[in-house]
Structure 1
């Protein structure tokens, strides 16, 4: 959510140019797999101070690829596809000179392109034909994948609720030591499913905003606000209401994901979104800047991305076995890089304080993620 800082532009650029992602895995766009002969419609969006006008502004229902570029706007650095107030796809942190894309299968209807900061921040986008209920994926392995992703998301959020309550109970009790111990384990369940949470408007900022993401610090809520109280302010005074809100927001997320459906391309693009999270906020140390528990989040993002890949692997292996094999090797490389920073075992397992990881080792982690992002960016086009 936060803007890219100067000290991480190089790492972010490498990944953002490579990864094709979807932030927000709602099912509003339909869930069918494209037939091999079905053409994909290309839509171009040029970010500028004026906004983000889509070209063309009307397309036929079916697979659509959105290509977003920023040639020089510092004010407008992201574009979102929305429908009925829900984010279906987006590209964030496209600072001047960066570009990116995401793919979706869209049903007929009225959509909008939104780009905060533009002189005109909302643009009409229309999809013609193809109305009615979404069709099931023609490939049965993709149908299994989308159902499996639903089950995975529900399971992770089911675990997020009690682990968050362990954290918030300690906050309400004023037990700083217990709250610090519970912080990172709870967040792992959130970080694994963050692309889905981001699709629900303000829910993700309420749960996970960093100080950079809020215009009024007095309205800052969620994990990171309490993180600052624990590690910087060294006081939990006044945090009980924020703990209560965090519990309520996490329970809202549980309710919302229970009925969500997904399309195959959303798994692939969601995996890319998680890798972008790693490159733009975890590797740099921005995410958990007070607690330095970034490696926990790093692992959770990779776990979520790998789950998407594993669910799509049967279909991908049948269509492009070389790509499937390459991705397996790249995921293994990232896992090996993370493993050296683990400490403890069993219930005491965790990761070293990220502030102790030297810059050259952080660069190696970033390089492994970038090497994974490049082939992963090709998956959505195989399954949309």
Structure 2
């Protein structure tokens, strides 16, 4: 459970989940000029973005793949949706169009009615004139925008689920501390794994855990002293000691500190507030982080439990999706496929657990590694659709 640093150009077009199979949306640079012969060979149409003239310039609507050059003539940044004016569902969008700049919306259109909605910063949305296309095939799929209001019940339900998980985690870290006091190494290792996986299942909440996440599940990344750094604490500190021959007595202090940190987190959780707009993104990031950290072995401090962690992360992903499902069933036609792919990944990972023990990552053969990477990678791509569709959007 750890944050991913994400990069990207401001104002890039958000593909509505990749689910819009008939559409291809890309963000463009500021050199697009309506009316010029385009090097891409596609027809271009200049569209004005402003509170008073939103959507002006679309004089000859036609079907097929085309480019809209969205030029912001106002003095404030804006985002733009191309929507169905009847029900507000969105075909494509571009964010962060700065004053005086132009960005491109590349999209395939079919038969139907369309209108541009301009959403300037700090003012009301404006919908431009309706354009109708009578020829060509049917209009491509569109997704009803999800608002922050829509996401609040899902976030509250997930937050309650996390609270119950933290209650259980308090008990598990307490048993780990007690096992270390008893000195039974095999029991300690089992208690450590049980507690660590319980924490990893809470993956979408890390943003709300604040500094507690570092104390509980931090690694040596950025610590000058590495495994000997005083700031190296929590699960991985204990893991390193257990699987590098440290005495159980020497690990009692770190285990007590871990149990105390978990209890403090649990006690503070009722006052925490998750950002509803982040929930869809977290569903994607859990498995994105799994690929980056677990399936590369970067977080293995000796236990060889990365595949077990990946399996716990899969449970964490399902927990988020369960709270978002009512929003996705009408917006994401590929949801049944995603759910089947989750089942496939679960079966694959469960196959690495034999006689109660997980296969260490470095004992997988090449075929197993490639298949695991491919299955989880495919899920990450599909969950990017969930992140996009559940990105909170303005409607007014």
**In structure 1, which of residues 155, 159, 162 is the aligned counterpart of residue 164 of structure 2?**
155
Pairwise CA distance, 1:171:
2.0
Equivalent position of 1:362 in the other structure: 369
Structure having the higher Rg: 2
> Aligned pairs, how many?
265
Equivalent position of 2:269 in the other structure: 257
Pairwise CA distance, 1:198:
4.2
Structure 2 Cα separation of the partners of residues 61 and 331 of structure 1: 41
**In structure 2, which of residues 336, 349, 353 is the aligned counterpart of residue 338 of structure 1?**
349
- C-alpha spacing 1:164/1:42, structure 2 compared with 1 (3 Å): farther
Output aligned runs, 1:299-338, within 5 Å: 299-320=311-332, 322-338=333-349
**In structure 1, which of residues 151, 154, 173 is the aligned counterpart of residue 182 of structure 2?**
173
* Deviation string, structure 1 residues 161-191 (Cα, Å, up to 9, x no partner): 1111111222233332211111111111111
Equivalent position of 2:234 in the other structure: 222
* Deviation string, structure 1 residues 92-119 (Cα, Å, up to 9, x no partner): xxxxxxxxxxxxx9xxxxxxxxxxxxxx
Structure 2 Cα separation of the partners of residues 224 and 330 of structure 1: 30
> Is residue 2:248 matched to residue 1:236?
yes
> Is residue 2:215 matched to residue 1:206?
yes
Equivalent position of 1:382 in the other structure: 389
Structure 1 Cα separation of the partners of residues 173 and 97 of structure 2: 40
More helix by share: 1
* Deviation string, structure 1 residues 250-304 (Cα, Å, up to 9, x no partner): 1122123223344554221111121022101211222233010112211111101
Output aligned runs, 1:1-384, within 5 Å: 36=88, 41-42=95-96, 59-60=121-122, 137=149, 139=150, 142-216=151-225, 217-219=228-230, 220-320=232-332, 322-344=333-355, 349-383=356-390, 384=392
Instruction: Report the TM-score, using the length of structure 1 for normalisation.
Output: 0.61
Pairwise CA distance, 1:245:
0.9
Unaligned runs of 5+ in 2: 5-14, 18-86, 99-119, 126-145
Pairwise CA distance, 1:194:
3.2
Structure 2 Cα separation of the partners of residues 176 and 62 of structure 1: 63
- C-alpha spacing 1:313/1:171, structure 2 compared with 1 (3 Å): same
* Deviation string, structure 1 residues 310-343 (Cα, Å, up to 9, x no partner): 22112111123x1312311221221121121122
Provide the aligned C-alpha RMSD in A. Answer: 3.3
Equivalent position of 1:28 in the other structure: none
Instruction: Report the TM-score, using the length of structure 2 for normalisation.
Output: 0.59
Structure 1 Cα separation of the partners of residues 124 and 209 of structure 2: 23
Structure 2 Cα separation of the partners of residues 335 and 243 of structure 1: 30
Structure 1 Cα separation of the partners of residues 222 and 321 of structure 2: 30
